[in-house]
């Protein structure tokens, strides 16, 4: 049996289930309590679970992410909500220099079972300071797991295994997906290990994640109308990358286009491209292509924002370039 949910509802259900099932789980962040969450993910939680488990915090990411780390070290299972990815920069020391390193620096004596959720991505006219896609920055860091749920099923199912993980997990939720709707199985079991093929194909592998997945699927539809069967691979887990799935798709299709909302220089797309070159170079019939955001701060004006971001038409053009 399946049910129709929005991405927003799926995330809310996942948190509600976690709070119901495990008294160690609590939610903390800016406006998660009385306001019901910036994106309404925690609406009604304060009334149901009380202020000890739904904690509104001061406007200090450095402080409340640090408090989450301490709670995790103390045996709790905190879900820390950072309003948007740009605000996570204020907590970089806590995430990168503390949570990610405790297991290593304690010689395995301590772990930090912490989940940090944050909205990411552009496409909503929230201007340069609120339109970052910094998933690749975090995927660079050993000691944390980085997830990018791009479907309703993943939004519903990834939180439970993230909370069960003994080490820090950072979940990037693309704000452009929040109103997306789809069918979800009643029993939603999702792993946080493997990439997933979202559309089978044989002519080109389109490899992507997060908010770019719907655009990649739209491009695949456009290509199908012209007789080009594109396979779409959703990375889902950005650290550790599922290299085997990437290589398998490239070996099957012999061409690859990587779609990444991050900027091209030093991007996650660059890492995926390097892994293809290292592991599947002799499988390729054409150079690897990348479709990334333009190397500018994301503009506010709608037409300029759309021009700066990966779009289905850009993906189609990149694919066709591999056949010329």
* Per-residue pLDDT reduced to its tens digit, 81-96: 999 999 999 999 999 9
Q: How confident is the model at residue 51 (pLDDT cuts 50, 70, 90)?
A: very high
Q: What percent of the chain has pLDDT over 90?
A: 96
Cα gap 233→225, rounded to integer Å: 19
Q: What percent of the chain has pLDDT over 70?
A: 100
Q: Do domains 2-185 and 196-321 have the same CATH topology?
A: yes
Q: For residues 142-165, b (16+ Cβ closer than 10 Å) or e, as one string?
A: ebbbbbbbbbbbbbbbbbbbbbeb
Tell me what pLDDT residue 235 has: 98
Whether residue 56 is predicted with pLDDT greater than 90 in this model: the reply is: yes
Query: How confident is the prediction for the chain on average, in pLDDT?
Result: 97
Cα gap 128→140, rounded to integer Å: 23
Tell me what pLDDT residue 196 has: 98
Q: Structural domain boundaries of the chain?
A: 2-185, 196-321
* Per-residue pLDDT reduced to its tens digit, 206-227: 999 999 999 999 999 999 999 9
Residue bearing tokens 């749920």: 149
CATH architecture of 2-185: 3-Layer(aba) Sandwich (3.40)
Q: Residue range 102-131: average pLDDT?
A: 96
Give catalytic status of residue 306 as yes or no: no
Q: Residue range 191-208: average pLDDT?
A: 97
**Contact 266/140 with Cβ under 8 angstroms?**
no
Dihedral sign for Cα atoms in the order 291, 314, 179, 125: positive
Q: Which one of 13, 81, 130, 153 is the catalytic residue?
A: 130
Give catalytic status of residue 61 as yes or no: yes
Tell me what pLDDT residue 324 has: 83
Q: Which one of 9, 13, 61, 305 is the catalytic residue?
A: 61
Whether residue 108 is predicted with pLDDT greater than 90 in this model: the reply is: yes
Tell me what pLDDT residue 166 has: 96
Tell me what pLDDT residue 1 has: 82
CATH 3.40.190.10 fits 196-321, yes or no: no
Angle at Cα 160 formed by Cα 156 and Cα 164, nearest 5°? 165
Residues 6+ apart with CB under 8 A from 291: 257, 258, 259, 260, 310, 314, 315, 318
Q: Residue range 274-303: average pLDDT?
A: 97
């Amino acid at each position: 049996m399946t049910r129709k949910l929005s991405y927003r509802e799926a995330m809310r259900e996942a948190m509600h289930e976690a709070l119901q099932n495990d008294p160690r789980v609590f939610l903390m962040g800016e406006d998660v309590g009385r306001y019901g969450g910036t994106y309404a993910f925690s609406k009604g939680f304060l009334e149901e679970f009380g202020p000890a488990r739904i904690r509104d915090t001061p406007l200090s990411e450095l402080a409340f992410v640090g408090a989450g780390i301490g709670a995790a070290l103390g045996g709790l299972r905190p879900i820390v909500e950072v309003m948007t990815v740009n605000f996570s920069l204020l907590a970089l020391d806590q995430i990168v220099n503390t949570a990610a390193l405790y297991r290593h620096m304690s010689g395995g004596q301590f772990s930090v079972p912490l989940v940090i959720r944050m909205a990411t991505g552009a496409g909503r006219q929230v201007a340069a300071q609120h339109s970052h896609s910094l998933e690749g920055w975090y995927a660079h860091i050993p000691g944390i797991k980085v997830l990018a749920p791009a479907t309703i099923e993943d939004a519903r199912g990834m939180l439970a295994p993230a909370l069960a993980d003994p080490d820090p997990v950072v979940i990037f939720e693309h704000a452009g997906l929040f109103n997306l709707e789809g069918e979800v199985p009643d029993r939603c079991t999702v792993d946080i290990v493997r990439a997933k093929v979202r559309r089978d194909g044989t002519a080109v592998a389109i490899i992507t994640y997060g908010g770019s997945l719907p655009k990649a699927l739209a491009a695949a539809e456009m290509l199908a109308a012209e007789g080009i069967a594109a396979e779409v691979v959703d990375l889902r887990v950005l650290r550790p990358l599922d290299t085997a799935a990437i290589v398998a798709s490239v070996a099957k299709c012999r061409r690859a286009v990587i779609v990444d909302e991050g900027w091209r220089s030093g991007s996650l797309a660059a890492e995926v491209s390097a892994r293809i070159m290292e592991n599947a170079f002799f499988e390729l019939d054409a150079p690897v292509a990348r479709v990334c955001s333009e190397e500018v701060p994301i503009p506010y004006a709608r037409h300029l924002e759309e021009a700066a971001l990966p779009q289905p038409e850009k993906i189609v053009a990149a694919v066709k370039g591999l056949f010329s």
